[in-house]
Structure 1
Amino acid sequence: MRLRGDEQGRALLDALLEGRSEPGLAARAASGLGLPERGRYAVAVVRAGEGGPVCAALEAEGVRCFLRGRGDRETVVVALGDRDTESLTALLARCPGPGGIGPVADGLTGLGAACRLAEVALLTCPPGTAGIVRLEERLPAALVVSQPELAARLVADVFGPLLALDPADRALLVRTLEAWLESGGSAGRAAGRLYCHRNTVLNRLRRLERLTSRSLSQPRELTEMTLALEAFTLTTPQP
């Protein structure tokens, strides 16, 4: 009977993760799983096969969680208690990824939205990367991956001339822009990351400005370049 009750509770949890809004659904799930209906919860979505290690790491720290398989991804529902998502990310730092964590859900009825946004956070992880990211850390990239058609148009409009370059040449300019942005707009620090001279970085950036017809010193055009870079990195197959 207890096993049957657990199965029913997990079926109700699945319904909440799917965003259903049937009357009394959250109360029945809370009763079936022994969870507070209005507690604080987080949802992490990871690639299939990685959810088990995630749950093991959380349970080792006394955190209650539930693992649910959803196609090629696994969903981990975490009862946060008084923890925040930053501390949850720290607990998961040693787990294989990639994975995404949605915003805190205030109650079981918020699990559907938290799950959907955790899936978006996962999509912001570039191919071949590991680690688990919070949606709040990846909002610009989340906007890009949420609108793939617009992302493709953005790449074509801003980076169109780059796409015609030799792949190695294109990759060099893109990596230079990434390093410059990661260095807070400092050519000197970017040069340190790239193991080249500061003037080399400046020359590459000027060439990038000529190719894109955009200036990195103009805030609006810099925003376009930054979002186009996110879209290019996340949606364009890399050599």
Structure 2
Amino acid sequence: MSPLPPELNEIVRGQLGRLPQLADELARLLSEKEEFYRRLEHSSPHELRKVCEVNLGRAFRAFLEAREVDVETARKTGRAQARLGIPISAALRAFRIAGTFAYEGMIEQAVGPRQLTPEQLLSASATVWHIIDSFSDVIAEAYTEVATDSARYDSKARLALIDGLLDGRFTRPEEFEDAARVLRLPPAGPFVVAYAEPRADDDRGLSGLVDPRSRAVWRRTSEGEVGIVPVERSADLRALRQALDTAGFPVGVSPVVAGLRLLPAALRRARIARACLAPGETGAVGFGDRPVTTMVAGAPKLARELAKEVLKDLLALPEAEREPLLRTMQVWFAEHGSARDAAERLFVHPNTVRYRIRRVQELTGRDLTDPRGISELYLAVESVRLEP
């Protein structure tokens, strides 16, 4: 800032000498002009006067030293007022009121032999508004900082609540009530949990597939993405399944559960449902949509042991012989035991399918006309299909 004329310097020094009085007057003025400061004046009168005194003092000293005003106190004031819930519009008006108050106070002192010229008054006015602008800029920055901090805290708090629900850490009714209120979930549900492992390059994930009006809550981690989705009507569940079926990655959906307390169990079942999809398969599968496959996915180690026992002679074959047999059995089961339909999918003759099935029966000792033999082979073939 430009140096002040000697006459104005003398006036500013005089105002500094009256600083406590001026701070009292400004605090009263602010409480008269702004409702929020009236409340602050009532609850913390000394605090408001202290803030007025410090900021006025810094402004007057910046006048005298012809330098930029020290705005750190204003920044602290802005952050404190933002946390108190004082609107930024009220805070900015307060600094304009304070600037006008300081300017008019100096002009009142410019009487008698210290009468200022129009040029000097213009210089003083420009300096005052430059200081007001500096304070206003830093106040706006302080409010933005607090809003960012608050959003970051709110986000962390939401994630902590979601984790608490899904991990089963909450046990008391009031904990579930608080979580439902903050996350805006219906406390009694009903809900389903969706679980997926989106591709690393998929920015949308599950949440990008589902109607935002569903009031779903999402949690994404390095392992995968989880959604808690209210489904108060059967139509809600149908719409959700249709949306998730379009996913370019595998998605598991839990059974419908009532109440937030059952979400950990629902998540476990959603993970099992997702495991029912083999590598390369996409879309959504619900827990229990494929009962035998669900059992295989729910106990994968045990299923692999049984599969190795049932298919040991088949698995011992060279890959070129083994893979067509396994693939044929997978397609034959998928086509409900129809050799003709399986042949169409495999691009072979139906007799080729029949030959391969007889070969599998010979190798495994299982008869595909016997329900027990069919179930044992199906379990074993599904276990192999789901292996990475």
Question: What TM-score, normalized by structure 1, do the two folds share?
Answer: 0.89
Q: How does 1:116-131 map to 2 (within 5 A)?
A: 116-131=268-283
- Given the superposition, is the C-alpha separation of residues 51 and 105 from structure 1 closer, same or farther in structure 2, using an over 3 Å criterion? farther
* C-alpha distance in 1 between matches for 2:256 and 2:250: 19
Secondary structure class of the residue paired with 1:42: strand
* C-alpha distance in 2 between matches for 1:205 and 1:84: 42
* C-alpha distance in 1 between matches for 2:314 and 2:271: 30
1:10 is aligned to 159
Deviation readout 1:41-76 (Å, 9 max, x if unpaired): 11111114558332122135x222222124411111
Q: 1:76 aligns with which of 218, 224, 227?
A: 227
Q: 2:192 aligns with which of 42, 67, 70?
A: 42
| Structure possessing the higher radius of gyration over alpha carbons | 2
* C-alpha distance in 1 between matches for 2:275 and 2:192: 17
1:188 is aligned to 340
* C-alpha distance in 2 between matches for 1:11 and 1:204: 54
* C-alpha distance in 1 between matches for 2:300 and 2:345: 30
Cα displacement (A) at 1:204: 1.0
Task: Report the residue type matching 2:353 in the other structure.
Answer: V
* C-alpha distance in 2 between matches for 1:234 and 1:80: 30
Conserved 8 A contact 2:205-2:225: no
* C-alpha distance in 2 between matches for 1:51 and 1:137: 28
1:229 is aligned to 381
- Greater shift, 119-128 or 183-192, is seen at 183-192
Q: 1:33 aligns with which of 166, 170, 183?
A: 183
Cα displacement (A) at 1:7: 3.9
Deviation readout 1:183-237 (Å, 9 max, x if unpaired): 22122222222222222211111111000011111001110000001111112x5
Q: 1:210 aligns with which of 362, 376, 381?
A: 362
- Greater shift, 154-163 or 142-151, is seen at 142-151
Task: Report the residue type matching 1:173 in the other structure.
Answer: L
Cα displacement (A) at 1:112: 1.0
* C-alpha distance in 1 between matches for 2:337 and 2:354: 11
* C-alpha distance in 2 between matches for 1:80 and 1:123: 23
Task: Report the residue type matching 1:200 in the other structure.
Answer: T
* C-alpha distance in 2 between matches for 1:36 and 1:179: 43
- Given the superposition, is the C-alpha separation of residues 86 and 226 from structure 1 closer, same or farther in structure 2, using an over 3 Å criterion? farther
- Given the superposition, is the C-alpha separation of residues 167 and 86 from structure 1 closer, same or farther in structure 2, using an over 3 Å criterion? farther
2:265 is aligned to 113
Q: 2:325 aligns with which of 139, 153, 173?
A: 173
Conserved 8 A contact 1:51-1:75: no
Q: Percent identity?
A: 34
Deviation readout 1:110-129 (Å, 9 max, x if unpaired): 21111111011111211122
The structure richer in strand per residue is: 1
Cα displacement (A) at 1:95: 2.3
* C-alpha distance in 2 between matches for 1:5 and 1:195: 57
The structure richer in helix per residue is: 2
* C-alpha distance in 2 between matches for 1:167 and 1:86: 42
Conserved 8 A contact 1:6-1:32: no
Cα displacement (A) at 1:148: 2.6
2:168 is aligned to 19
Residue 66 (str. 1) matches residue 221 (str. 2): no
Cα displacement (A) at 1:84: 4.8
Residue 164 (str. 1) matches residue 164 (str. 2): no
Unmatched segments (≥5 aa) in structure 2: 1-82, 84-149
Deviation readout 1:154-180 (Å, 9 max, x if unpaired): 111111011111112111111111222
Conserved 8 A contact 1:51-1:67: no
Conserved 8 A contact 1:51-1:76: no
Conserved 8 A contact 2:244-2:251: no
Greater RCO, 1 or 2 (C-alpha within 8 Å, sep 6+): 1
- Given the superposition, is the C-alpha separation of residues 85 and 230 from structure 1 closer, same or farther in structure 2, using an over 3 Å criterion? farther
Conserved 8 A contact 1:5-1:32: no
Conserved 8 A contact 2:253-2:273: yes
* C-alpha distance in 2 between matches for 1:114 and 1:51: 25
Cα RMSD (Å): 2.0
- Greater shift, 174-183 or 80-89, is seen at 80-89
* C-alpha distance in 2 between matches for 1:69 and 1:192: 41
Residue 102 (str. 1) matches residue 251 (str. 2): no
- Given the superposition, is the C-alpha separation of residues 218 and 105 from structure 1 closer, same or farther in structure 2, using an over 3 Å criterion? same
